[in-house]
Amino acid sequence: MYPPTARTIPNRSRDKMSYDRETAHAVLDEAYHCALGFTVDGQPRVLPTLHVRVGDTLYLHGSTGSRPLLAARDDGLPVCVTVTLLDGLVYARSQFHHSANYRSVVAHGTARLVTDEREKTAMLTALVEKVGAGRSTDTRPPSRRELAETAVLALPLREVSVRARTGGVREDEADLHLPHWAGVLPLRLTAGPPETADGVTAPLPAYLRAARTPWHDPVPLHGEHVRLEPLEAAHADDLHTATADDEVWRHLTVARPSAPAGTADVIAGALAAQHRGERVAWAQRSVTTGVVVGTTSYDEIDPERRSVAIGHTFLGRPWWRTGINTEAKLLLLGRAFDDLGAVRVVWHTDIRNVRSQAAIERLGATREGVLRMHRQRPDGSWRDTVQYAMTVDEWPSAQARLRERLRRTTPVA
């Protein structure tokens, strides 16, 4: 416990206060930024900055030319640091009782300027590790010049308090009859899909991939004709070249991109859906030539019902009716039925796309019906969708037929 002091004991709402060390540390560790309050030349200042906790010391990142760092050079700088995590908005029947659920930490003390190079390096390493476990070994460390340009304040955690509100609506009994909605809107900080910088060819690090079930994991799948690898932004140029044919895009729900940037947007949409847990996307790469020739995905992923759909598939025209498409489906079916324990795999295709329907039927899937006005085409018209499915009971015989077909297929360039 942190001992309460005159600066950390509130005048009101003491029931929301805590001085528990572990609770304070948890809030500081979850938050990525803080507000640093201080006084310079008699004037108050509040600056947002990054922080990291190491033991019972809070380190604050800054520039050597900033006001708080300059003021801390001699005897240190009296500061007040606050961190707040907003967990929800509370809606009451009366305006007066609207509130918020939150967790906040306030720390008082005198911050010192870190001058020891080893301590500064350790702090920067801890800060980088906070944004991604393993990131410090996956990047270039700072040079001596960069260290000299970086300033660090260290605040001993001694005067610390935690203030929090949790739970639901609290309002007067007289207001309970009012015909207004009341409740809590939960809030949370969530990461969006990573956006790879131009020129980067390295794969997305594991610490930036969203934690998912095995059903959501785009594991690489290898065959004799095709290799399925996790779809990345770096595939855009090759995928655009391979699929530069109007026939490839004729029955898709997106229009054919006119330039690689448009294909990059298609990939970005797939990766955004993947980040939301709605899809798992692969690039299809020819084993013979090493060229990216298409893409395919899982969607409608339902681990509870042990069901998944195979879709969003488009393949360069030179590779139609080759072992690549057959083997890609064989790999995806094997992953679904044998590895994930699926009992059902589904396909959807435009009712106008007779070629796709024939290809799905050759896989051994059963046509189940038509979903009317199911999806909108790029031209604005509504398509009827033909639905096919294969069950786990049908998989063994379908697998044998597909393997026999592949055995008679000559690898294609």
**pLDDT tens for the 413 residues of the chain, in order:** 898 888 888 777 777 888 999 999 999 999 999 999 998 888 899 999 999 999 999 999 987 767 667 677 778 899 999 999 999 999 999 999 999 999 999 999 999 999 899 999 999 999 999 999 999 999 999 998 998 888 899 999 999 999 999 999 999 999 999 999 999 999 998 888 888 888 888 888 888 877 679 999 999 999 999 999 999 999 999 999 999 999 999 999 999 999 999 999 999 999 989 988 899 999 999 999 999 999 999 999 999 999 999 999 999 999 998 899 999 999 999 999 999 999 999 999 999 999 999 999 999 999 999 999 999 999 999 999 999 999 999 999 999 999 999 988 765 55
Helix (H) or strand (E) holding 328: helix 323-334
Which pair of structure tokens corresponds to residue 120? 């500064």
Phi, psi dihedrals of residue 334, rounded to the nearest 5°: -65, -40
Give me the residue label for tokens 């940037």. 261
181 in the same domain as 244: no
Same domain, 177 and 62: yes
Q: Exposed, middle or buried: residue 406 (CB in 10 Å: 0-12, 13-18, 19+)?
A: middle
Number of domains in the chain: 2
Alpha helices in 107-221 (DSSP H): 117-131, 144-149
Whether 121 maps to a domain, the answer reads: yes
Distances, alpha carbon 123 to alpha carbons 52, 106, 151, in Å? 8, 21, 11
With tokens 């019972």, the residue in question is: 56
Q: Which of 164, 186, 208 is the last residue of a domain?
A: 186
200 occurs within a structural domain: no
> What is the pLDDT, as a whole number, of residue 255?
93
The reply to whether 275 falls in a domain is yes
**9 within some domain:** no
Query: 172 and 273: one domain?
Result: no
Please report which helix (H) or strand (E) contains residue 25, including its range. Answer: helix 21-30
Q: What is the DSSP letter of 375?
A: E
In this structure, what are the phi and psi dihedrals at residue 96, rounded to the nearest 5 degrees? Answer: -60, -35
- Residue 295, SS3 per DSSP: strand
One domain, residues 176 and 30:
yes
**Distance, CA of 98 to CA of 93 (rounded, Å):** 8
3-state SS string for the chain: CCCCCCCCCCCCCHHHEECCHHHHHHHHHHCCEEEEEEEECCEEEEEEEEEEEECCEEEEEEECCCHHHHHCCCCCEEEEEEEEEEEEEEECCCCCCCEEEEEEEEEEEEEEECCCHHHHHHHHHHHHHHHCCCHHHCCCCCCHHHHHHEEEEEEECCEEEEEEECCCCCCCHHHCCCCCCCEEEECCCCCCCCCCCCCCCCCCCHHHCCCCCHHHCCCCEECCCEEEEECCHHHHHHHHHHCCCHHHHCCCCCCCCCCHHHHHHHHHHHHHHHHCCCEEEEEEEECCCCCEEEEEEEEEEECCCCEEEEEEEEECHHHCCCHHHHHHHHHHHHHHHHHCCCCEEEEEEECCCHHHHHHHHHHCCEEEEEEEEEEECCCCCEEEEEEEEEECCCHHHHHHHHHHHHHCCCCCC
Q: Are residues 380 and 316 in the same domain?
A: yes
CATH number for position 322: 3.40.630.30
- 272 & 144 share domain: no
Q: Which of 386, 390, 349, 393 is closest to 371 using CA atoms?
A: 386
| Chain center to CA of 87 | 19
Task: Give phi and psi for 344, each to the nearest 5.
Answer: -155, 135
Q: Any idea which residue has 């007289």 for tokens?
A: 174
Residue 260 sits in the same domain as residue 173: no
Among 279, 281, 283, smallest CA distance to 302 is for 279
Q: Is 395 contained in some domain?
A: yes
313 and 396 in a single domain? The answer is yes
CB of 59 within 8 A of CB of 114? yes
Regarding whether 266 and 149 lie in a shared domain, the answer is no
What is the token pair recorded at 399?
């697998």
72: CATH: 2.30.110.10
Last residue within a domain, chosen from 186, 206, 232: 186
Rg (CA), the chain: 29
The residue segments making up the domain with residue 264 are: 218-407
Domain co-membership, 275 together with 395: yes
In 3D space, the residue among 378, 371, 346 whose CA is nearest the CA of residue 253 turns out to be 378
pLDDT, position 407: 87
CA 393 to each of CA 64, 364, 365, 396, 402: distance values in angstroms, whole numbers, following the listed order: 68, 12, 12, 7, 15
Whether 47 is in a domain gets the answer yes
Q: Which residue has the tokens 């956006």?
A: 195
> Which of 186, 208, 226 delimits the end of a domain?
186
Do the domain assignments include residue 285?
yes
Q: Indicate if 306 and 179 belong to the same structural domain.
A: no
Do residues 255 and 269 touch, judged by C-beta distance below 8 A? no
Position 154 in a domain: yes
Same domain assignment for residues 268 and 371: yes
